[in-house]
């Protein structure tokens, strides 16, 4: 065969192979302020989450997964970059006076997948900046000059489901990456119960009896808290319905067998002891992956963090060196290994919630022990406004209550430099072991390891502060 014809034949063969190659699509679903234990598949016997539970039955449920920061904007920045808060530059919220945004040298998963030939979309909540680092082909939040088909409120699950259907319908030519960021179960406002669902066209709310709810141990068991939890449960079930609509649309357009599905919450609830903290109710989240042809019904024991999400998505898409430029690693190689070695700790990092709730913390979370470094520990802990303005905290202040559940208000507001907890014997982190001589060696080892991890991840706070000093 002549060289020219040979080259032409190889070129056409390459085109044919590319056309025949299966698409590797991605659906990432994020709920807003949902505790890890508030799904049926994570052990809640009352709450109705059939679609989340089915996804877990069809995929892999990670028992110990962590948002690296319990704040909406900051957490989403980590999800979409794989870079910890202290390095990515989005230290707090993006909207209004907070005005936080990614550093210029940080690249998002949207940019990387776009460059890899993907069609991209973010349907629902954004809370990200700057938008030029998030190249969407489709969005439900209008920005000046865009060509958005739908403008849909983040709590309109029916509208968000229709938007998902439209995006799948118009994505026949390219592989796609869709993030569905649901607005539930984030509270509806600052006044009154602040949680709950009204009947709406196409959706009938699930109702819950406050008397039947098992109040989590970090909150006080009072009628007010039970009433709030009943409304919060309603919103979790509505978020579950939104996930279900997205999965139905995915199957309708023939993408069940070529789409990696990942379900998470951005962090825990906005009640005191969760949002804006590094305690378990704030940073531990649901985390479920369904991989086409992958394991089903598996409960995984690896400790994973949101820094691992971007590398995992890029790995699935076939991007070379998927972890490059991130602080994480792909989970796909261990997806069928529930007791995988070397996944025994995670690094967490918080700077602020709003700009006026600055309280930087760094955390090393191991399987049994957790070490929290409160960098500006001599200052009183500033509650996020989402917590401070709602009626549970107002009630605590007005009644001069001494406790929030089992934790004292004093311990919550005035924290030591180092907090060390044995999560096996003290799962709600009430007994600080950092001052006990019996744990001096463990404290030293974990503090040294935390410091080293922060050096490796280029933490600029180390220019002034040192956990080992």
Long-range contacts, stretch 228-231, CB < 8 angstroms, 24+ apart: 228/193, 228/194, 228/195, 228/271, 228/391, 228/392, 229/195, 230/195, 230/196, 231/193, 231/194, 231/195, 231/196, 231/197
Single pTM value for the model:
0.94
Q: Which residues of the chain have pLDDT under 70?
A: 1-21, 142-149
- How are beta strands 418-422 and 369-374 bridged, if at all? antiparallel
| pLDDT for the residue numbered 13 | 39
pLDDT at position 458? 98
Scored b (16 or more CB within 10 A) or e, 264-296 reads: bbbbbbbbbbbbbbbbbbbbbbbbbbbbbeebe
CA–CA dist 147, 418 (Å, integer) = 50
Model pLDDT, residue 142: 65
| Per-residue pLDDT, 192 | 87
Residue 145 is predicted with a pLDDT of: 56
Q: For residue range 268-305, list pLDDT tens digits in order.
A: 999 999 999 999 999 999 999 999 999 999 999 999 99
Per-residue model confidence as pLDDT tens digits over 24-52: 999 999 999 999 999 999 999 999 999 99
Share of the chain above pLDDT 70, in %: 93
Backbone torsion region of residue 59, taken as left when φ is above 0, otherwise alpha when ψ lies between -120 and 50, otherwise beta = beta
Residue 8: predicted pLDDT:
41
Domains, the chain, ranges and CATH?
A: 23-339 (3.40.720.10), 348-463 (3.30.1120)
Evaluated on CA atoms 41, 64, 255, 258, the torsion sign reads: negative
Residue 10 has a pLDDT of: 34
């Amino acid at each position: 065969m002549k060289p020219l014809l040979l080259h032409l034949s190889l070129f056409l063969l390459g085109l044919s192979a590319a056309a025949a190659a299966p698409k590797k699509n991605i659906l990432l679903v994020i709920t807003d302020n949902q505790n890890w234990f508030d799904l049926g598949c994570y052990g809640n016997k009352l709450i109705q989450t059939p679609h989340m539970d089915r996804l877990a039955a069809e995929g892999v449920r990670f028992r110990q997964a962590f948002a690296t920061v319990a704040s909406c904007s900051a957490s989403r920045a980590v999800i979409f970059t794989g870079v910890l808060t202290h390095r990515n530059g989005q230290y707090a919220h993006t909207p209004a006076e907070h005005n936080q945004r990614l550093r210029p040298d940080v690249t998002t998963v949207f940019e990387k997948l776009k460059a890899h030939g993907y069609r991209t979309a973010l349907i629902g909540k954004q809370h990200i900046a700057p938008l030029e680092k998030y190249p969407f082909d489709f969005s439900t939040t209008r920005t000046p000059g865009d060509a958005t088909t739908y403008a849909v409120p983040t709590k309109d699950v029916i509208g968000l489901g229709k938007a998902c259907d439209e995006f799948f319908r118009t994505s026949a030519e390219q592989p796609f990456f869709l993030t569905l960021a649901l607005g539930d179960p984030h509270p509806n406002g600052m006044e009154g119960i602040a949680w709950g669902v009204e009947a709406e066209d196409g959706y009938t709310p699930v109702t819950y009896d406050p008397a039947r709810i098992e109040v989590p141990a970090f909150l006080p068991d009072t009628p007010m808290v039970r009433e709030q939890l009943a409304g919060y449960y309603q919103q979790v079930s509505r978020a579950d319905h939104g996930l279900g609509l997205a999965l139905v649309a995915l199957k309708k357009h023939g993408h069940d067998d070529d789409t990696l599905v990942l379900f998470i919450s951005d962090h825990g609830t906005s009640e005191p002891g969760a949002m804006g903290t590094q305690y378990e109710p704030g940073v531990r989240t649901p985390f479920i992956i369904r991989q086409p042809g992958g394991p089903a019904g598996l409960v995984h024991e690896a400790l994973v963090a949101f820094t691992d999400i971007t590398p995992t998505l890029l790995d699935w898409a076939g991007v070379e060196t998927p972890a490059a430029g991130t602080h994480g690693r792909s989970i796909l190689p261990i997806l069928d290994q529930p007791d995988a070695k070397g996944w025994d700790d995670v690094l967490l990092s918080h700077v602020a919630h709003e700009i006026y709730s600055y309280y930087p913390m760094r955390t090393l979370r191991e399987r049994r022990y957790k070490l929290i470094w409160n960098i500006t520990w001599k200052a009183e802990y500033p509650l996020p406004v989402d917590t401070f303005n709602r009626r549970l905290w107002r009630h605590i202040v007005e009644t001069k209550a001494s406790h929030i559940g089992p934790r004292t208000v004093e311990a919550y507001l005035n924290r030591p430099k180092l907090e060390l907890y044995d999560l096996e014997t003290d799962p709600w982190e009430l007994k600080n072991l950092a001052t006990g001589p019996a744990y001096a060696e463990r404290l030293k080892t974990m503090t040294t390891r935390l410091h080293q991890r922060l050096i490796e991840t280029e933490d600029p706070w180390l220019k002034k502060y040192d956990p080992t000093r």
